C-alpha cells in the first residue's frame, strides 16, 4: 500500500513539473497596446504593420497615431517584430532610416524601457506600443488583431 502511494506521489510530481503553467506562458505573450482613451479595440495585421512602418498616421476616428518602440536589441522589441509584424528588427530600422533620411517621414519615438513605454502610452492619447500581457495597466488596453 505505501509503495503504491509513494509511486503515485512520484508520478504526480513528475507530471506537475513537466507541464509549464498556463499562466506563466500567457505572461510572456507580446501584444500591441494603446492608450485606454482610444476608441479603437482591434486592427488588422496589415493595419498594425502600416502603423509601425509609419505609413498609417491616423486612427479610424481621425486622431493622430503616436508610435513608441524599444531599442532594436531589446528582447521584447525583437519578439514583437518577429511574432506580430513578421519582420526582423533590422528591417524595421531600415524602413525608419529611409523615411528619416529621405525627409518623407519620421521614425517612431524610442523609449528606454518597458516602464517608460507604459508611462508614455498611459499619458499620450492616440499612442501605440507593445508589452507583455502581464504588463497591462489601467491606463493601457490591448489592441486586438483581427
Residue with cell 503616436: 66
d(CA 75, CA 126): 25
Give me the pLDDT at residue 58, please.
96
Give me the pLDDT at residue 28, please.
84
Give me the pLDDT at residue 104, please.
94
Beta strands per DSSP E along the chain = 30-35, 42-43, 66-69, 109-110, 127-132, 140-142, 144-145
Residue 5 makes CB contacts below 8 A (sequence gap 6+) with: none
Q: What is the per-residue pLDDT across 71-102, written as a single tens digit (0 to 9) for each? A: 999 999 999 999 999 999 999 999 999 999 99
Residue with cell 513537466: 18
At 101, give phi and psi (nearest 5°). Answer: -70, -30
3-state helix, strand, coil in the chain (%, to 5): 45, 20, 35
Instruction: Kindly report the length of the chain.
Output: 146
- What is the full per-residue pLDDT of the chain (146 aa) written as tens digits? 566 666 566 655 665 555 555 555 567 899 999 999 999 999 999 999 999 999 999 999 999 999 999 999 999 999 999 999 999 999 999 999 999 999 999 999 999 999 999 999 999 999 999 999 999 999 999 999 99
d(CA 20, CA 99): 43
Among left, alpha and beta (phi > 0; psi -120 to 50; other), residue 116 is: alpha
C-alpha cell at 35: 492608450
CB of 132 closer than 8 Å to CB of 30:
yes
Q: Note the pTM of the prediction, 2 decimals.
A: 0.82
Amino acid at each position: 500500500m505505501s509503495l503504491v502511494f509513494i509511486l503515485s506521489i512520484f508520478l504526480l510530481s513528475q507530471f506537475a513539473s513537466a507541464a509549464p503553467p498556463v499562466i506563466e506562458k500567457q505572461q510572456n505573450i507580446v501584444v500591441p497596446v494603446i492608450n485606454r482613451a482610444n476608441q479603437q479595440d482591434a486592427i488588422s495585421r496589415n493595419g498594425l504593420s502600416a502603423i509601425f512602418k509609419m505609413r498609417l498616421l491616423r486612427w479610424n476616428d481621425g486622431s493622430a497615431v503616436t508610435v513608441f518602440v524599444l531599442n532594436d536589441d531589446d528582447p521584447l522589441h525583437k519578439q514583437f517584430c518577429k511574432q506580430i509584424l513578421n519582420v526582423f528588427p533590422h528591417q524595421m530600422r531600415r524602413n525608419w532610416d529611409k523615411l528619416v533620411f529621405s525627409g518623407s517621414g519620421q521614425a517612431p519615438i524610442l523609449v528606454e524601457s518597458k516602464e517608460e513605454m507604459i508611462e508614455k502610452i498611459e499619458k499620450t492619447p492616440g499612442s501605440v506600443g507593445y508589452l507583455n500581457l502581464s504588463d497591462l495597466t489601467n491606463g493601457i488596453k490591448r489592441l486586438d488583431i483581427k
